Structure 1
Amino acid sequence: MADSWTFAVARADLARTTLADGAVPALADGEALLRVDRVGLTANNVTYAVLGEAMRYWEFFPPEPRGLDRQWGLPPLWGFAEVTSSTVAGVEPGLRVYGYLPPAGHLVVRPERVDGSGFRDASPHRAGLPSPYNSYRSTTGDPAYRAEQEDLLILFRPLFFTSFMLADQVVDNDWYGAESLVLSSASSKTAYAAAFELHGLGPRLIGLTSPGNLAFTRSLGCYDDVLTYDDIAALDAVPTVYLDLSGAPAHRSALRAHLGDRLVRDIAVGLTQQTPNADAAEEVFFAPVQMRKRSQDWGRDGLDNRFADAWQRFSQVVSGWLDVRVGAGPEALRDAWLDVLAGRTPPRVGHVVQL
């Protein structure tokens, strides 16, 4: 049987990496083997590693079964995989799925809740982890899937789902009574996808970004205005919601100093500067919470269909905002990781790796 491989990063130093060889795992009853096929690498994946301990992201794909000790972590990736062997009815070889994958050649899953839309991995070590990350969607039963859009789905789907749920929560709460909505890291995919969803529906949308990303962010057309972080004092002093995707304490401090009690909500959404921002914010947005609410409100099919409709609107536009850079093999995955980690990837570039 052919060998497999695993890419891992040092938990204490994310720039230190290793590529470990290993055997393709054997299956027990109730298991299926996925061959990891095509994945993306964005700042979102670095976020998973930065928050690996605090948010338990390291626990999805433990290093020990792959012959690595716990100094190493496997940063989760999003992408497509194919079932190569299975002991589970309804999960047949050749099935192509989208989901949360290790940076490795293979993944053993324990499928449950198998139906036309896919399955969930019920492996014991994932039982206590957030359930949306344990879902694997079959390409044949996914209303958002289009074969020609695979790279866009790889790079944007998890980010766009966060953006979709974030925008929905803001609208669901009547914009928290704000007249202005300010998003930091406005050039990031999660920020501008949320802005795309919200633009023209209510309060003014203001993007904050670095000087080097100002022209790109303004060119998107999904913000009413885009300022650099140095221009925070130019913001109108009106009731404002801050959606913080940068995690930079200086940005929050400047906004609070300028707006005072007119900052009506301060919500940490994520981080793109590798500085955990949850402690400093008034509240933290976590997409699965709003997802659970809407699953109850709309039902699973209702949520899927609303997401698919929003995704199709967004995908028609975003292809013009992105240059997909495709690499091949584990070494290309390592190179992409180091580029994104070091901040060398321009906002127009998206890394996809064929494995």
Structure 2
Amino acid sequence: MAHAWTFAVARDDLTRTSISDGVVPDLADGEVLLRVDRVGMTANNVTYAVLGESFRYWQFFSPSRYGLDPGWGLVPLWGFADVVGSTVAGVEIGQRVYGYLPPASHLLVRPERVDAAGFRDGSAHRADLPSPYNAYRLTTGDAAYRVDEEDLLVLFRPLFFTSFMLADQIADNDFYGADALVLSSASSKTAYAAAFELRGQGPRVVGLTSPGNVAFTESLGCYDDVLSYAQLETLPPVRTAYLDLSGAPATRAALREHLGDHLIRDIAVGLTYQVPNTEAAGEFFFAPVQMRKRGADWGRDELDRRFGVAWRRFVDELGDRVEVRVGAGPEALRTAWLDAVAGRTPAQVGQVLQL
């Protein structure tokens, strides 16, 4: 039997990890076997783990299906996989898909709604989970796909989708009447991709970041102003919407004290510092909600088209500002995970794993 492996983290201690061996599962009728190939590792993946219980991220890849105890979790990753076994018409061995993948060598899926664009995993344990995370897109039917840009896709596409939907929701709500949009963790990929979409739309776009990341964040050219957290008190007292991607309580407290009633919106988007911030903020942004709205407003094809146009602009603008570092195998995946959890990955670096 061919070899398989799984990388897992302890749900109560994200620095405790396990790499276990296994066997490649046999296929039942209606199933397809994917070989996980190339994935990205960013702070976004840490967010999935921190919010694993409350947002059900742990449920996508149940540890029991990989022979693990419930105390372990499989952190979802975005990337590419190849079809290596299929009992489903329309899904052929050798096809390559992009989607939500486990930190493991293989994934069994039950494709439904198969078409030229791809399919959805109809496995029972994923049936009531957010639909966008269950989609697997064929590279041959993906307008955003270019073979020489796979690394950018695994690093940025899920983040850019969140950023694209965040910017769209803000614009869809007339920018909440704000004169300024302030983003924390401004050097993070999700933040600056959102800033790229928002700049020039009306309100000033201001990035808050650590002192060591100010120069890099300024070099991106997507913020009207970049301030270190220590300079927060220089923000002008205008109607401000705060987009919190850091989850740092001290930043929120300082912003509220400085701006007072001028802080008209406080939206949690992520948590770079692994502090759940959904309760402290006024509201929480969840991309699939805005995606469903726009799917109804525009239809799937138009949503895909608009995303593709925005993605192309972003990639062309990004240029070579990101240094892609590629590791190979499960041990490299472990190292990349621990670096992400500890915040050791420099803002300008993107970690890609060839598995």
TM-fit CA distance, 1:219: 1.1
- Matched residues in 1 for 2:317 and 2:329: separation? 30
Q: SS of the counterpart of 2:164? A: helix
* Cα distance, 1:230 vs structure 2: 1.2
Secondary structure at the counterpart of residue 312 of structure 2: helix
Cα distance per residue 1:69-112 (max 9 Å; x no partner): 01110000000000001010001101100000000000000000
| Whole-Å separation in 1 of the counterparts to 2:116 and 2:4 | 29
In the other structure, the counterpart of 1:11 is: 11
Q: Structure 2 CA distance, aligned partners of 1:53 and 1:319? A: 37
Who is 1:107 aligned against? Answer: 107
* 2:27 corresponds to: 27
Aligned residue type for 1:138: L
Q: 1:307-318 to 2 correspondence within 5 Å?
A: 307-318=307-318
Q: TM-score, normalised by structure 2?
A: 0.99
The percent of aligned pairs where both chains have the same amino acid is 73
C-alpha RMSD of the superposition:
0.7
Gapped regions of structure 1 (runs ≥ 5) = none
Q: CA deviation at 1:320?
A: 1.9
Matched AA of 2:156: F
1:156-209 alpha-carbon deviations (Å, 9 max, x no partner): 000000000000111111111111110000000000000001111111111000
Deviation at 1:319, TM superposition (A): 3.4
**CA distance, structure 2, for counterparts of residue 164 and residue 129 of structure 1:** 21
Residue 20 (structure 1) shift: 0.4
2:248 aligned partner:
248
Match of 1:283 in 2: 283
Alignment of 1:1-355 (within 5 A): 1-355=1-355
Which AA in structure 2 matches 1:157?
R
Q: Secondary structure at the match of 2:48?
A: helix
CA–CA separation in structure 2 for the residues paired with 1:305 and 1:188: 25
Provide the rounded CA distance (Å) in 1 between the counterparts of 2:206 and 2:125.
42
Contact 1:34 1:81 in 2 (8 A): yes
CA deviations 1:122-173 (Å, max 9, x no partner) are 0000011111000000000011111111000000000000000000111111
**Secondary structure at the residue paired with 1:205?**
strand
**Alpha carbons 1:10, 1:16 under 8 Å: kept:** yes
**1:350 Cα offset (Å):** 0.5
Per-residue Cα deviation, 1:37-69 (whole angstroms, up to 9, x for no partner): 000100000110111111111110011121110
CA distance in 2, matches of 1:340, 1:17: 13
Detail structure 1 runs of 4+ shifted over 4 Å in the superposition.
Answer: none
Write out per-residue CA displacement over residues 250-271 of structure 1, whole angstroms, 9 at most, x where no aligned residue.
1111111111111111111111
In the TM superposition, residue 273 of structure 1 has moved relative to its aligned partner by: 0.6
Contact map agreement 1:152 1:319 (CA 8 A) in 2: no
Gaps in structure 2 of 5+ consecutive residues: none
Q: Give the whole-Å Cα distance in 1 for the aligned partners of 2:199 and 2:282.
A: 24
Deviations 1:8-51 (A, max 9, x none): 00111111111000010011111000000000100000110111
* TM superposition shift of 1:340: 1.0
Write the distance in 1 (CA, Å) between the matches of 2:250 and 2:327: 36
Shift of 1:324: 0.3
